[in-house]
Structure 1
Amino acid sequence: MTDIAGVILAGGQARRMGGGDKGRLILGGRALLDRVIDRLGPQVGRMALSANGDPGRFAEYGLPVLPDTVAGFPGPLAGVLAGLDWAAELGLSHVLTAAADTPFFPADLGPRLRAGAARAGTPMALAATLEDGRLVRHPTFGYWPVSLRHDLRVALEDGLRKVVLWTDRHGAASIVFTGDPFFNINTPEDYMQAERIVRTEAE
């Protein structure tokens, strides 16, 4: 999937974890961001971080750091837009996004979202799971077409903030994954659960 750019959404302000970059949290001896990079890297041709503030704090990773281009911290869609603009400069057709605080997402995320979008005849797809029979979408894990970046910019400038309102407008497919691979670390309790998962995987 060398025609796809991978963008790690690392722009959250982590208020429930005391602030700072959640991607720098150490989980099982490794930073969350290291774990996410290892999972996303093999699925894409190029990779970047979506983050605001001083890009130098990520210098050790050697990846482009893409700040929001829409003011006011409008949320993950701003990171998606920054990634789409970057991918367009590279001549790539799509962006695959992953959240920096979600270390266990599927290693086949990209191929499955891409295939699902093709089957549905739609330009984009979002990851989803079933919880008690209810479809739950995980919009920070998506397959996004560069061709819609201008539409997204206009939507954000008009005040749109909810991801699925925009993706529904364009008929995004929902691709269901089993289990809870999109478990993310929002609170200290989540962090403790993630540590337990890592220990179990190591056994």
Structure 2
Amino acid sequence: MPLPGVILAGGAGRRMGGVDKAQVLLAGHALWEHVARRIAPQVDALAVNAPGGTWVIDGAPLPCLPDPVPDRPGPLAGLLAALIWAEERDAEHVLTVATDTPFLPADLVTRLGKAPVIAASAGRTHPVVGLWPVSCQPELRAALHAGDRRIGHFAARIGAREVAWEDEDDPFFNVNTPSDLKIAEQRLTASQR
């Protein structure tokens, strides 16, 4: 059964000064490119959930999946776009990851296992990083209709398990602010030594 993956890149980047976080450079490459290179070997097809733009990695264009609901209601709308795209590809599940997590593990899909499941590390859940059944679309649409925009609430609602990573260096480190970007640069430099 195919497993597509979607990078959720539709956020407003408020904590990054209002810039598109997906396009912020880390070691000369956009954040989303780091994420794509970590995830591409683990999925059968890759797309980006964003309001628009051109997404090309290593010469290959990736589909751009805009939110299927208006007013940018957050990652739940991105998840819905991912589920719809996965269903169109005859997949039963879809992997979602955040555009600001450049250190995702190379064994993410293997360790996550059976959907629905989300990642956790350092005592925190990372509900954007998850494996979702395509069949959860009705519940997701109901959550959006009710005004619930929190992906963590939705994960709990459908009984998603948590799989924890206990690595010393958090593989789900989020680059949310300029100071986070500096930390990521240092971490990337240290890992290349």
Per the shorter chain, which TM-score range? over 0.9
Does 2:139 match 1:151?
A: yes
| Letter matched to residue 195 of structure 1 | E
Once the 2 structures are TM-superposed, how far is the Cα of residue 58 of structure 1 from its aligned partner? 2.7
Q: Which runs of 5+ in 1 are unaligned?
A: 118-122
Tell whether the 8 Å contact from 1:80 to 1:97 is kept in structure 2 after alignment. Answer: yes
Partners of 2:140 and 2:22 lie apart in 1 by: 26
| Letter matched to residue 93 of structure 1 | E
Q: Which moved more, 1:37-46 or 1:148-157?
A: 148-157
TM-score, structure 2 as length reference = 0.92
| CA spacing shift, 1:20–1:68, aligned 2, 3 Å | same
Partners of 2:40 and 2:9 lie apart in 1 by: 15
Does 2:115 match 1:138?
A: no
Does 2:116 match 1:124?
A: yes
Does 2:162 match 1:174?
A: yes
Q: Which moved more, 1:17-26 or 1:38-47?
A: 17-26
Once the 2 structures are TM-superposed, how far is the Cα of residue 29 of structure 1 from its aligned partner? 2.2
Q: Deviations over 1:70-107 (max 9, x none)?
A: 22211111101100001101101111011111100111
| Letter matched to residue 126 of structure 2 | H
CA RMSD of aligned residues (A): 1.5
Once the 2 structures are TM-superposed, how far is the Cα of residue 163 of structure 1 from its aligned partner? 1.5
Partner residue, 1:187: 177
Helix, strand or coil at the partner of 2:55: helix
Does 2:21 match 1:29?
A: no
| Letter matched to residue 122 of structure 2 | L
Moved >4 Å (runs of 4+): none
Q: Which runs of 5+ in 2 are unaligned?
A: none
Partner residue, 1:120: none
- The number of residues matched between the two structures is 189
Q: Which has the higher helix share?
A: 1
Helix, strand or coil at the partner of 1:12: coil
Partners of 2:9 and 2:73 lie apart in 1 by: 13
